[in-house]
Structure 1
Amino acid sequence: MTDALMSAPVAAPQRLESLDLLRGFALCGILLVNIISMGGIWEAYVPMSTPNLENPDWSAWLVQHVFLQGSMRGLFTLLFGAGMLLITLRGGSGKGTIEAADVYFRRCIALLVLGVGNVTILLFPGDILYVYGLSGFFLFAFRAARPRALILTSVLLIALLTGFQGASAYKRAVEAREGRAVAESHLPAERLNSKQREALDAYQAAVAARQPTREARAEQTEQRTGGPVSLLKWSVHTWVDYAASSYTIILVMECVAFMLLGMALFKLGVLTGEQSLRFYLLLMAAGYAVGLSINGAQAVAFWRNDFSPELWLSRATYEVGRLGVTLGHVGLILTLWKLNAFGFVGTGLKAMGRMALSNYLAQSAITSLLFYGLDLWGRFDWWTLWGIAAIIWVALAIGSLLWLRVFAFGPMEWALRLVAYGKVPAVRRARLVTAP
């Protein structure tokens, strides 16, 4: 998922502080996105009410759609690509070794297992580790590629995804338009031909995707509050619905595209903070100018058309929009880092970033305990859920700082090293020795 997941932990040299900071920032952002589904109806991408900015949930949705949705996962994925290079290109000629390949592929397999564990043990079916593990298998062949080749391949994949998703969205929009016409005709079901029935079914499914029906919400509520067995069945079934479907192919293509870009940015010294302050200011300005404009236009289009399934252009621009905002985030965080503007907040973020895998899984564990163990699921609005997320940030930052005062790396990073290297690694921090 990030270089904390993919590389052997090191003694945090100065140039890697930027990666720790980016990881910590991404961890915080991804929890803001995930906690809405963790603490409420899973399929509810938008609040369960008529769009109205006077409703706090809708203002939270607007912030999420424009600034967070897709871009935080994009940042995680960039860092995964950078971390891959820390394993395969460490110390040698830049071509990697069979030992590095062995370690790397063991880690990919371990991520697959951890992803399944996140779904079945920690009860979070939105896990990304499984997809990252699958995507990682495609990365090794690109380990020695030049930055230009990596960027071109990444751009090509994003262009293919944009074209495919645009065509698919347009097809669904046409079906929805035809289905709406059938619904508004109020024809009896027995008078509909097969094409009309298909169009009507497609339209009704698209409407339900935006707002789950009352029956669907009631069924999910029963499943997620019906005890451990019922909850486990719901989590596994929800995960299998996408993990065993063609949608996983799209997710893997997305991840590979962003991972390749992350590899290029690492080789160019962008993610490691080696570029100038002016460079990061320009990256922030350009990334946000493109990404926020696209995401903002999408939000306006959705809002004005009441999230109609007949919209297609807004959905076709998803990849470009999230890419722009992701790069804007990189520019912003590293600009502030260059200016030493983070203070104690940066210290906490870097500690969280050094334990990225442990903290990612800890988020699932904490939210499952809160929402299921303490019977708090479905009780909070969006802003309250974000407040809970902020409390979790603080807890994880403090916990990470205390842990790293004693240990060299997090517990899950230790376990990952054990699997990857096939031997028990030392866990306690090495004491500094002053030479006489």
Structure 2
Amino acid sequence: MQPESQRVGPVNLSERILFIDVLRGLALFGILAANMRAFFAPLDCYDHIGVLFHSRADVLAQFFIEAFIQGKFISIFSFLFGMGFAIQMSRAEARGARFLSFYPRRLLALALFGLIHGLLIWAGDILLTYALSGAILLLFRKRQQKTLLWWAGSLFALPIVASTTFLTLYFSRFHRPWMDPKPPDMKQLYAVIHIYAHGTLRQILAQNWVEWKRELPTQGFAIYATALFLLGMWVWRAGIVQRLNDYKPVLKRVCAWCLPVGLIMSIYVAIVRAVIPSGTVSLWGWSAGILWLPGSHILAAGYASGLALIFLHQDWQRFVHPFAAVGRMALTNYLMQSVLCTLFFYHHTRSLYGRMGPALGLAPTVILYGAQVVFSNWWLQRYRFGPMEWLWRGMTYGKFPSMSKDESLPTIEPPSLSSSPTTLSTAEGEHATSSITTPDKITD
């Protein structure tokens, strides 16, 4: 009998569902496009970029990003993380291994990556949030499908109820001055810009520490992240991704409903934020704040289902295949985006930090992501794993796998569009064979 550490170790590259990699890879583009504004300007300007950049092109670019990108692709990324949790758990059970023998180490490694990323590279890290939410998922690993849905719905509703309650109190006799939203402090903003544009490495790291501590309250996103994780678990257990073609009618209905509804909500939010100045108190502003995350999640569902329909079309599959390599190296590419952008804006083009608006920021977004597509495909033609994926696996399983490609492994082919069972890929880029008997319809 093999040692447990071997039974739960990395698996062959040929065992995968290509669609999951493609979806994850494209989600990384949206994450980069949304985050770019926080690479060339202070984090305090992320939602108030208009206080620094007022040109028509910048206003339109900011509107485009808020309406169609911000919050949508991180939702997809979070959803896939939860799906990966369910995949790894089912794989461990199929091999007779104890899931808890390795997954906590995986989360600890992810938390370590998040701390290093947030403290030393860029304060807008999401990995620590994922590690915290991933730990919460351990409580749901034996729960029934309807329980996952109930908790996901409750967690989605909790911040909405809290925001609505706060809004009601604000416009009542219980109003207090501390409730008033405040626009960014321009003096402080320009001080931060000066540090990142002209400061020493020590000054930049010190400012990054200040911003990281300021961002800690945003770990409340873990509530939404956990809800998305649970939804990802539910979708995998329902067998939807394993049998995409069987669920094509469902995907069409989801796309037909979620795309228009999500677009209406997201465009409304973007219009309100563009029209109402930062710090202005109004019902319109509060309603936009309440609708932003639900609208983002709904539109994300429309995007994901639409991409699934494109993927199921044989003539269109080839156009999305190159993005699969980006998805397989998701951790590497996510961290690479932060490293390259901070190096570029903080050190080598100091005249651009605080001066490049959202419109010009689209150019480095497209260039960097295009380079990542090329690099990821080049790398995976030569090696089994991305660099950070290799490190993550070694820290998880206590043994570092070989990076060289095994010549005996079969060639990776696109999944069949038939209803036969397929292989799978985790949300973090790890691949495993499904042992789940998937249903023909969504059941509890």
TM-score relative to the length of structure 2 = 0.82
User: Measured at CA, do residues 266 and 425 of structure 1 come closer, stay the same or move farther in structure 2, by a change above 3 Å?
Assistant: same
- How far apart, in 1, do the equivalents of 2:52 and 2:334 lie? 33
Matched, 1:30 2:38: no
Partner of 2:182: 207
- How far apart, in 2, do the equivalents of 1:422 and 1:51 lie? 49
Code of the residue aligned with 2:145 in structure 1: it is: P
Code of the residue aligned with 1:335 in structure 2: it is: L
User: Measured at CA, do residues 344 and 115 of structure 1 come closer, stay the same or move farther in structure 2, by a change above 3 Å?
Assistant: same
- How far apart, in 1, do the equivalents of 2:164 and 2:104 lie? 34
- How far apart, in 2, do the equivalents of 1:62 and 1:269 lie? 37
For the residue of structure 2 that corresponds to 1:262, the secondary structure is: helix
Partner of 2:228: 258
1:236 alignment partner, one of 209, 226, 229: 209
User: Measured at CA, do residues 362 and 427 of structure 1 come closer, stay the same or move farther in structure 2, by a change above 3 Å?
Assistant: same
Partner of 1:187: none
Partner of 1:183: none
- How far apart, in 2, do the equivalents of 1:400 and 1:105 lie? 28
Q: CA contact under 8 A between 1:88 and 1:97: conserved in structure 2? A: no
Deviation at 1:364, TM superposition (A): 0.7
Matched, 1:355 2:329: yes
Deviation at 1:18, TM superposition (A): 0.9
- How far apart, in 2, do the equivalents of 1:151 and 1:7 lie? 30
1:404 alignment partner, one of 380, 390, 399: 380
Matched, 1:391 2:364: no
| Greater alpha carbon shift after TM alignment, 260-269 vs 299-308 | 299-308
Matched, 1:68 2:64: no
Unaligned runs of 5+ in 1: 1-5, 179-197
Deviation at 1:202, TM superposition (A): 4.9
1:417 alignment partner, one of 372, 393, 397: 393
| Greater alpha carbon shift after TM alignment, 145-154 vs 60-69 | 145-154
Partner of 2:238: 268
- How far apart, in 1, do the equivalents of 2:346 and 2:9 lie? 34
Aligned-residue sequence identity (percent) comes to 24
Partner of 1:46: 48
Aligned pairs for 1:175-254 within 5 A: 199=177, 202-203=179-180, 206-208=181-183, 212-225=184-197, 226-243=199-216, 245=217, 247-248=218-219, 250-254=220-224
Q: CA contact under 8 A between 1:287 and 1:324: conserved in structure 2? A: yes
- How far apart, in 2, do the equivalents of 1:428 and 1:293 lie? 48
Aligned pairs for 1:135-154 within 5 A: 135-154=133-152
User: Measured at CA, do residues 273 and 402 of structure 1 come closer, stay the same or move farther in structure 2, by a change above 3 Å?
Assistant: farther
Q: CA contact under 8 A between 1:166 and 1:317: conserved in structure 2? A: no
Deviation at 1:428, TM superposition (A): 1.1
| Greater alpha carbon shift after TM alignment, 143-152 vs 20-29 | 143-152
Query: What value does the CA root-mean-square deviation take over the aligned residues?
Result: 2.6
TM-score relative to the length of structure 1 = 0.84
Deviation at 1:105, TM superposition (A): 0.7
Deviations 1:305-353 (A, max 9, x none): 4453333222122332122011111111111111145555423210000
Q: CA contact under 8 A between 1:26 and 1:75: conserved in structure 2? A: yes
User: Measured at CA, do residues 124 and 433 of structure 1 come closer, stay the same or move farther in structure 2, by a change above 3 Å?
Assistant: closer
For the residue of structure 1 that corresponds to 2:307, the secondary structure is: helix
Partner of 1:332: 306
Matched, 1:283 2:251: no
Code of the residue aligned with 1:120 in structure 2: it is: L
Matched, 1:11 2:13: yes
Code of the residue aligned with 1:207 in structure 2: it is: K
Higher RCO, Cα 8 Å, sep 6+: 2
Hey, which bits of structure 1, 4+ residues long, moved more than 6 A?
none
Code of the residue aligned with 1:355 in structure 2: it is: M
Deviation at 1:222, TM superposition (A): 2.2
Code of the residue aligned with 1:218 in structure 2: it is: Y
Deviations 1:409-432 (A, max 9, x none): 101111111111111211111113
Give the structure with the larger helix fraction.
Answer: 1
Code of the residue aligned with 1:266 in structure 2: it is: W
Aligned length: 395
Unaligned runs of 5+ in 2: 1-7, 411-444
Q: CA contact under 8 A between 2:12 and 2:409: conserved in structure 1? A: no
| Greater alpha carbon shift after TM alignment, 24-33 vs 286-295 | 286-295
- How far apart, in 2, do the equivalents of 1:378 and 1:173 lie? 36
Code of the residue aligned with 1:219 in structure 2: it is: A
- How far apart, in 1, do the equivalents of 2:191 and 2:172 lie? 31
Partner of 2:428: none
- How far apart, in 1, do the equivalents of 2:103 and 2:383 lie? 23
Matched, 1:298 2:274: no
For the residue of structure 1 that corresponds to 2:321, the secondary structure is: helix
Deviation at 1:368, TM superposition (A): 1.3
